[in-house]
Amino acid sequence: MIFSIVIYSAPYTTQSASTALHFSKTLIGEGHKIYRLFFYSDGVHNASSLTIAPQDEKSLQAEWDTLIKVNKLDSVVCVSSALKRGVLSNEEAQRQGLTGHSLRDSSEISGLGQFIDAYIHSDRVISFG
């Protein structure tokens, strides 16, 4: 079956990003397809590259990154959520004249159209927040 996953919450603040990650891994393990990961609202922090986890805790951002790359997933952060929260791609940062960037290269910035498109092209959309 074709799934899309929407993540509304930042890692660590609530459990839901971790649940979403676990669920996504299981989906793939069970042979299902993920059409898109969509990070909305505080969920965009899951795609941040400027994070450091303590040695004895998991880095959710790194785990997402690996999952996306290994399985070649389409991963989108909502543009209006991301820019407001400082999750910027290199391209976007340059356009705005900012010196740093903070979006992992496994995700791309796009609009809410991609959110609606995910519903239209998936058998199931599962939301975590």
Partner 1 sequence: MDSLRFDTEGYLKDLDAWNENVALEIAKQENIQLTPAHWEIIKLTRSFYARHQLSPATRALVSLIKRELGPKKGRSVYLMKLFSGTPAKIVSKVSGLPKPDNCI
Partner 2 sequence: MTKPKKMFTFISRQAPYGKDRARLCLDAALAATVFEQKVNYVFSDDGVYQLLKQQNGGSIGSKTLGSALEALDLYGIEDVFVNEASLRQRNLNSEHLLIKTIPVTNIQLANLILKSDYVINL
Partner 3 sequence: MTTLHTISKGPSSKLLESCLSIARENDALLFIEDGVYYSSELASESSIPKHQLLFTLEEDIIARGLQHSILNKFETINYRKFVELCTFHEKVINWF
| Per-residue interface string for the shown chain with partner 2, residues 29-68, x marking contact by CB under 8 A | -----------xx---------------------------
Q: Which two tokens stand for residue 81?
A: 């959520």
List the catalytic residues: 78
We find the least distance from the C-beta atom of residue 40 to partner 1, in angstroms, to be: 13
Residues 94-113 that bind partner 2 (CB under 8 A): 111-113
Is residue 8 within the footprint of partner 2 (CB under 8 A)?
Answer: yes
Binding site for partner 1 (CB under 8 A): 80, 95-97, 110-114
